Structure 1
Amino acid sequence: MNKRAKPPAEPDSIRCAIYTRKSTEEGLEQEFNTLDAQREAGEAYIQSQRHENWVCLPDRYDDGGFTGANMDRPALRRLLADIESGKVNCVVVYKVDRLSRSLLDFTRIIETFDRNKVSFVSVTQAFNTASSMGRLVLNVLLSFAQFEREMISERTRDKIAAARRKGKWSGGLPVLGYNVEQTKLVLDDTEARRVREIFEMYLERQSILDVANELDARCWRTKRWTTKKDTERGGRRFDKGSLYALLTNVVYVGKVRYKAEVHEGEHEPIIDPETFEKVQTLLQQNGSSGGKAVRNKHHALLRGLLHCSACQCGMSHSYSKKKGNRLYRYYVCQKAQKRGWDSCPAPSIPAGEIEQFIVNEIKAIGRDPQVISATLEQVRVQTAQQTERLQAERLELHQELRDAHAELGQLAATVGPGDSRLADAHDRIQEAERRSTEIEDELAALGGDTLDRTEVAAALAEFDAVWACLAPREQERVIGLLVERVEYDGDGGNISITFRPSGIRTLVGELANTKEEVAA
């Protein structure tokens, strides 16, 4: 009996997905754009491998207008999901940097490919990840892609710095008195006249609040402008902050600022140098500038800690002199300072009374065991809450940094060096990085050793004796270590204190050291 030989089994199809990407949306509205060209090249390559049973999947994975500096791309996420579900055996791209320009992100993508036994092919660079040589070439090419992206960012920063040092306007918020035309500051006669009047008004009245009230009565507003996205910005009422920023802006004397440097600008000045210097001198004499120690020369214990709960704003320390040169200190609601005393139900409170109340509350902690227990429990709860809040903020900052870096890479490739969005992106990155460092320090402080009840009780029991020996500036520092916030409800006459979660631990050490110094 003759047996017939079985025909060879058909090899399984290699299902190929083509991924395409373009950093900007420019040109994507065309009938045949770069995404179509990339896909056409990929289809041709897959067709050339039909003898290996390669098949092109009909699904399109196109990311138009997305940077390769991160993985926040809808088509890429969909591709990775299809890979995880087993729908794809091979990924084809036109060039390796279409998939990613970040070495770290690319490593993660390749790990996903390897885990699902998916190969990766670059059409124009003629390699795939099935071989060790292909992997080596791929990593080298990707390293150069990341290097190119970083060089673009560095060149952009250098161009912005060079432009500012030459006195050119390189972006930022428009200022009252000028319009921006073709990246240059052009004088607006109507607004320039108002700027001159504001400077003269301050020299005459010598009070920022009085000038702000006068500007409000005249219905003068801050600079109003329309962004490139047709969004209206500015046009707000002047307050002390915005008016102070206007009076100290070197742009009005024909200069530009780059960090701590001041350079001669290309634009026409509005204010003469003599008038500008008189205003700066007067501002300094009135206490609008200067160090912390200078501004707190009367040793206000709750400076920066006291808040008006009715207006949801801070309360500033101030003073006045009555007959016989007697000094009266008080805290005043900042809203009342900016908008008038009628805007707050309880615009001020005597400084001595509320400061003594807070000190007495701290002393009470050390006298009553139940208060110590309740305070320690409150600190534990606050520590857990603040730790959770800081961790959540840290995650948000990381995402913000990724988005800002992605935006920066996209802008660097599409706009000119003088575009204000580049400087804004750099500023956001610097601010986010600074805040990230602060958060790490705060989390480290919160994660220290837990408080010992006996140690806390012993240290706080000596608070009365030690407090009386402290110099005023040391008293300020101790209060700042312990108290995070004080809320004053003028309507109900209530005061609430929020202690710093790590403050009692720090205070215990401070009091112990101070006691030893006093004894010595």
Structure 2
Amino acid sequence: MTTLGIYLRLSRESADSASLDTQRAAAHRWLEAHGYDPSDAVEYLDAGVSGTKPLEDRKAMSGLMADRPSVVVAWKLDRFARSVSEFLRLVAWAEAHGVALATADNSIDTTTPTGRMAAMVLSALAEWERNMIASRITDGHSTRRSQGRWSSGRPPFGYRIERRDGAAYLAIDDNQAATARDAVNALVNGSTVAATARMTGLSEPQWRRLLKSPTLRGQRTHKGELVCEADGIMPIQFAPPILAAAELMAVRERMLDLATGADRAPRRATPMCSDIAQCYRCKGRLNGGTSDKGVPLYRCKAGHVTIYAETLDRRVEKEFLAAFGTYAETVVRLDGGNDLSAELLEAKEQAERLAARMATAGPLMLGTLESLAQDLEDTYARLRDAHDPDVREVQVATGQTMAEAWEAYDASARSRLLSGMGLRVTLHPKQEADRLTVSWGPKPEGAAEDALKDIAWQEAS
């Protein structure tokens, strides 16, 4: 049976104040002072292991308990355990197997009744101190949240940390906020979550979580709940909003459309003119496919006509650039109106929280809550009176020509563009000199100028 044991434990490799060398040297001094030869001692090392971990879940401690040395020394009590329950289990095991526990700082020595009592008291104090520290940290975070201050960690995308009056607050990061607005505008105007995430430099899950949270409204959640004032109703404003409530609601509606397939973009593998080109005979849409040699094709589902995809796509691209390449790319922006739908929704959510509070409030608080309810009713009435959602769509030039934009678009974006411009391609049989008929916009009575007006392209200056 092993006579002497030295137990070493380190929670983190960088814990310099409790380094292995420090622990080992102190244990050797204790052994020498008590007439033992340190060279006879066996070391049991648990590196990267918390003192709160159960004894049997620590590899070295399990080995020590299996070997049952007659004397085990550690640097300090917290090397053995940081909870009363685990330390008491160790003491009980030691007593049952005749093992003496000691620390190099002489805080415990279980060979005597006094030493055993002191060990239990010190262990209880260590656990109490740890719980008090955890409680202070939790209370501190709660206080900072209630004051609209930033607790800790990196600021969310779109914001930066600003120190005022000795405390940390969130302020808008102009560059990141502009990027977020551009990405949101692109998403609402037909892009996808994945594509707009790349614009921000965030991963898709990070960008998705940000859009689903109230962060860009300058608000926060804690444990899944919106952080509110002491009344539990009004949200705490941690920072100026980057997006208006209506903008954030439009983003979430767009994300819902994408998730449910209501506005799903064509798959990358889908040919550019799929669902746009049709058969001359049956008027059915041409689907994508491949030849026996794997060459991409467009083919009529009924088998009337077939053409190489590259041939049709190049013809459409050539005619598009010839007709519209010099025109300016534009995006749709909403102008006019006063859409307060999101603000009305937020007021309803506040009313729901207020109703929940009133359902459990006593007589002392009921009067205050009723006053808040009246204020909320007045606010909702003002919003409803000012709500005028009628808006007009305005085409805003992006600064590049359609030819330049075409080069930057992928196949799915080109397909959406062509579809939005009313492209119609008809495929004729092989006997025809020109198998392809390409038209844009409404065919009958629609002159070129009318078609361009309908799709709202403006000629580049």
Q: TM-score when scaled to structure 1?
A: 0.40
Which protein is richer in helix relative to its size? 1
Larger Cα-atom Rg: 2
Larger RCO (CA under 8 A, 6+ residues apart): 1
